[in-house]
Structure 1
Amino acid sequence: MFKKVTVNYCGDITVTEYFGSIIREKELLIEIKYVYMSIADEALNQCNIIAKDYRRTLGSIAVGRVVRSGVGVQDIFEGSRVLVFPIANYAPIEFDGACQSIYNIDAEYVIASSQKAFNDLEMLFIATLSIHRKILNSIKGLNTLVVGNDISILPFAYYSMLYSPKFAIIPQYTLWPDILKSEHASPYNSNRKFDVIVLASSDPLINNIVLKSYQSATIIIIHPSILPMIKLSNMLPSYGEKRVIVMKFGDIGTGIEIFNAFKENFTKRINLIKVDDIPKNIKTPLVIQMASS
């Protein structure tokens, strides 16, 4: 029997057993090793988002090995280590995520990972940081406010520290504020102005407050899970004048760059627990170990 981590619409987490998966055309069947639980998983757990189906499997990003390739899959072979990005398909909110022993997913959301310099857990961290460089380049030279408890904020914080004339965070709602060289802002301070807001919080109230307090921003970069939480067009009177960018993952070169900058913090600060030990309520950043070896 295989195991998967689920919620019923939302709420308490349960570990359930299942017999296996059916592989379809252009899909891969993957034995999952480690899974990253993002703010999407936390939001479902807290009922800040409601899943579209009764039972939803959690898990935003994962690393594992290919067990079988479906018809039509090219360039990814059985036995290969891969990075899996169900978050790119709005999992686990709209589709099942990767926190399960054996996972079938369209090859479109899978990237081969042959980097021998990094072990499986390190490659998972790199995947969580792999924001497309084109998106990161869009904040260069601009005043940036970064808010959120998801690992995905770190690439934006790193680039802001290097290239932004003014970089601020809201420390009580932002991951690892003690290591980010930034100014501190208030969620309610509307007198300060920023060109860019980066949002990755599992709390829709915080997302709403920040957007309303800093309406001068012309670029809004959001984690994929935020789209179902709030309706930007209803919140912002000048929504049509904003450039809204949804984070995209899969730029492994960027992931490696950011991981090397924050490497020690990943090993010291992120909780790693085995699937059988997962609590009913979780807090990101969190990694679940699905396979023992």
Structure 2
Amino acid sequence: MEYLDFEMPIKELEDQLAKCYEIGKESEVDVTETCSKIEKKLEKARKDIYKNLTPWQRVQLSRHPNRPYTLDYIKALCGDTFMELHGDRTVKDDKAMIGGLGKIGDQSFMFIGQQKGYNTKTRQYRNFGMANPEGYRKALRLMRMAEKFGIPVVTFLDTPGAYPGLEAEERGQGEAIARNIFEMTRLKTPIITIVIGEGASGGALGIGVGDRVYMMENTWYTVISPESCSSILWRSWEYKEVAAEALKLTADDMKKQKLIDAIIKEPLGGAHSDREGAFDAVKKQIVKAYKELKDLDHASLVSQRMEKFENMGVYKE
């Protein structure tokens, strides 16, 4: 188990508790009362820490190395029914963007999302969850397929941003993302979007236009990462915590600004501390959202989606 800096008091108490149990096993001393006291302290410490997280601490939790990624959610939701689909039919198959068909119960869904890696090798293979233009074009191809067969779309957002390399720009990164946003606004099938980790910039928005948009409790969603914002404004990463606060990037902030529909509560300690609990919460939210959307005709669905995004922010013509 890996611990973040602000989680060290929890680690210390867990170590004390483990040592207390070990002493009880190795000797005839009754340690029941002592262990009970430590357990109460541990429970209180967990509640105090996780109920009062700063925006930067939530950013850290969203990047926790043990946090479940897109494929983890899909496999937990669909089991063996998931069939991954590959390629954009133009350039290649982007491993940072995955998609395919799967079932929750008897209902089929088209699942699309960014996928990160778990170690150095898989992170390179997945390009650290940063999709190239062909990844967004693959996502659009799968969305159009879902529309053709009347299958609802579920997108999982978890990326530090679209890949900023020269070759990506040469192949039309900006156009690919813009095209996805445009096409998703008028897609004639329900779209359910969930931020499961990092939701950075156009890289996330390229698959983020949904009829229902949700954020998990310890995730973030904004135009730029706190580190990049800090480096632009202060020429240093030292002010990333200040930037995280100013960007209003947490799920609570996004809900207050009416940019998302709801927050999916995570188990105490984050999604990585109780994966099954996180999977179950996401599954319930998807099923609930689909029930709300499934009976809408195509015209109403598209009209409501467009109105939803047109009402965001302030503008003047």
**Larger RCO, structure (CA 8 Å, separation 6 or more):** 1
Which structure has the larger Rg over C-alpha atoms? 2
Q: TM-score normalised to the size of structure 2?
A: 0.30
* Higher helix proportion (structure 1 or 2): 2
* Higher strand proportion (structure 1 or 2): 1
